Chain A
């Protein structure tokens, strides 16, 4: 999981936006549409990032059929320190 987090967030083109998504979801769960508004990124981009994050078990979608809320997984929370290490490296 640690390696996956480093890859997802620092080594790829969309890494920075994925950090922003995780930070936003840490405050509260949100659906893709709200995330796109909040981060000022296109809906399609947010969808792609959410799919990548879900594939790596960082986020999961709630039950709803429509406007699904996304949550951080328990597994991710166990690696919260690694994420904070990575996000802490971001030069604002």
Chain B
């Protein structure tokens, strides 16, 4: 696998871990507080969780898709990095 895609896969893995933590917190909170806000947060975390799991799956099974164009690889890496910033910040604020 190309280095950039490897790194993107690693970032997707870290995102997954953060999202698992968020899903756990919000699922527990939803059992306690039956509010729309927490339900929305929970749906968000689960959707992102699935998105990252799918991304990981594609990185490992469709390498040929990414191998051709270094610009595509770079774009994919940047997108994963931005998502890590978003999800990481939210995780920090939620676990406090």
Contact = CB atoms under 8 A, between A and B. Distances in A.
B38 interface: yes
Interface residues of B, number: 15
| Size category of the binding interface on chain A | 10 to 19
A11 B93 CA distance: 9
Contacts of A14: 96
Contacts of B25: 12-13
Interface string A6-21: 1101111111100000
Interface string B37-67: 1100100000000000000000000000000
A16 B32 contact: yes
Interface of A: 6-7, 9-16, 52, 86, 89-91
